[in-house]
Structure 1
Amino acid sequence: MRSRPPPASTDLPPTPRSRPSSRAADGGASGGTKCDTPIAGDRTRGVVVHHTAGSNTYSKADSKAIVRSTQAYHMKARKWCDIGYNFLVDKYGQIFEGRAGGTDRAVRAAHSGNLAVNTYTMGVSMMGNYDVTKPSAALKTAMVKLVGWRLGTNYLPAKGTYTLGGKTLNMIAGHRNVISTACPGKYGYAWLSEKGGLRDRTEDYLANYSTPIKDLWRSLGSSKVGAIYAGEAKTSGGGRLRAKSMELLSASTGKAYSVSGAVLTEYNRMGSRSGDLGYPRTDASAVTGGTRQVFQKGRIYLAKGKSKAYSLTGAINTLYVKLGASTGALGVPTSSTTVSQASPRSPSRRGTSPPRAAGPLPTAAMAKFSRTRLHRLRRPSPRRRA
């Protein structure tokens, strides 16, 4: 579990790596059941704050059981498929994932009483009854970090309004702004808008949030990138943002680049940034015969007039570049690099071929191009004698 967060004066800007742990890791809610589609919306519009209206005298160790009992109530008494909230935060600053589906997505929950609001907002509940007591300092700090993480990594402001489900809501709204209810309690609701409250602190928290991916998103424009499906997240070796029209990626020490269309389809087929290609090193650009995008460990080409892109990796990519790439004798790729183990020689007409020496077979790499094909045979290193 998380240690006690620092006081408000030391709030630091969010980072893509600061998303909450999953409920499998935090030990709160259990598996639940399969929920109806759509499981998630295609973007986050804002945040709705709730309270559980339960006991305020629980211990830190009680919180997991409280989350599980809340889930059981929602599923058994209300007949919901899972817990209604996306996240729950206790008075000690512990954050628990609520409804299953992924912490970085706009998972459709059942927290607000309005279908559109359930689909496109993050519903977070403060554990306790905040009609009779004020939120603790630890709870407030955890809320700032959780709300700031979701808004910040989706490039949304802490203040302002939007229209959804027939309601005009603040970016950080209370449940009572959606339907007629006392939630999130007298003191909980007052804290949202008071001076130095949740909106003010979250705005300060986001003020200096800047990354190469956010800079690229700004330069491209939200209309070109499309709705943000999953906010900027720390990945192995860099960062990634998934949007409707493209993905934006950045190696940890480099600038950000966009990957889209048929190139993105082939990139994801190859395992995305953790696969054989790694992170992008350039944007897609026009070359002789089509379009090319360079990655850390290879290239992807899309020939003119074609809808399918192909990737080159390893020795085939290295040799292709030496031979002039798309401007050379080979032209543009019409297949991706394939690697296979070379077969033993077939039997001859007069009998079988001599037995091979013991050891692994060599591997063969091959790719087809618009004018010919390219092979590369790599023999394994000889075994050392004992």
Structure 2
Amino acid sequence: MVEIALPTADRRLERYRLGEPSPYWTAGGEARGPFNRVAIAAAHVVADPLAEQDPWVEPAIDWDRTLAYREALWDLGLGVAEAMDTAQRGMGLGWPQAKELIARALERARARGDDPVIASGAGTDHLEAGPGVTLDQVVAAYEEQVSTVEGLGGRVILMASRALAKAARGPEDYQKVYGHILSQVSRPVIIHWLGEMFDPALEGYWGSGDHLAAMDTCLSVLQDNADKIDGVKISLLSKDKEIAMRRRLPAGVRMYTGDDFNYAELIHGDEQGHSDALLGIFDPIAPAASAALGALARGEDKAFFEILEPTVALSRHVFRAPTRFYKTGVVFLAYLNGFQDHFVMVGGQQSARSLLHLAELLRLADKARVLRDPELAARRMREVMAVQGLA
């Protein structure tokens, strides 16, 4: 057994004994799939710590490691949501880098030959969300990014727009913009409703600060354009709101859960339906998610919950308020698991969480059985602690 002294809230060091390596990373394909849910992980990017650029000014990406992690997700049977908020879109990753990331990931997906699932974020983040922004500018920005993704042969995830949130005067403006863009897409898209807990600039999206009123507007867009929509991903961290909306969706439109607090029960579903998954937490818990989804597809509901439920406490910690800093936990777990050799992030976001937060991440990741090599994880945790004065 591996032991490590971890800091506590009362400023002590407490011995913690790590468990056995995760059994899920090494499980064979027959133990995983096929799935009876669509399961997509929003994937993170790996920064290049040796690049000359200052990380707060110009993002530098380690393309080899970034793409290798997408390969790992596909090998586990999961799809990839590319260039989304988990990839620090709007928090260090701009449209020029996102465009290159999408192009490289699509090329890698095509090279596999097994038709892995990949969908890419198209938004308006190259348009400054200032006071003078107009709806016409929002439409043009969406058109540019949608045409880029589709021109590369990709499927679109239509991201929420900070510029639209700034320019819109009411629900009718959202209906106008989304209706215009959806009329032009060449294949069905996923619409992403990202809540203000993930991005404060999106408060009042769909024309109302009341989520239920906003839901009515979103549903009207879905109903008016159902043939152009594969599904909707809502990230409001409320299972009740997701279930309420799920039960009102037009026929053929999927609900992709973005609820990183309650995903296990939402994916499992009830007598009236279930949610598919498009989740940021599926990046760090990918092997457990894969194993659980395989069990669910085989009718092993008990095993599904036994595998996935322990990851929920980890996820709630990763996504605790301020929720927008969850990417730090995602990348930290990738570092602990050996998918990158450093804990450096695009935009310097490794500094967004405290040492106590990271220590608890290690404990919860161990309890969730998602650590590939506990000895490596402990060694790397000690290195991070040493940098912060706990040698």
TM-score, normalised relative to structure 2 = 0.31
Which is greater in Rg? 1
Give 1 or 2: higher strand fraction.
Answer: 1
Which of the pair has the greater relative contact order for Cα pairs under 8 Å at 6+ separation? 2
Give 1 or 2: higher helix fraction.
Answer: 2
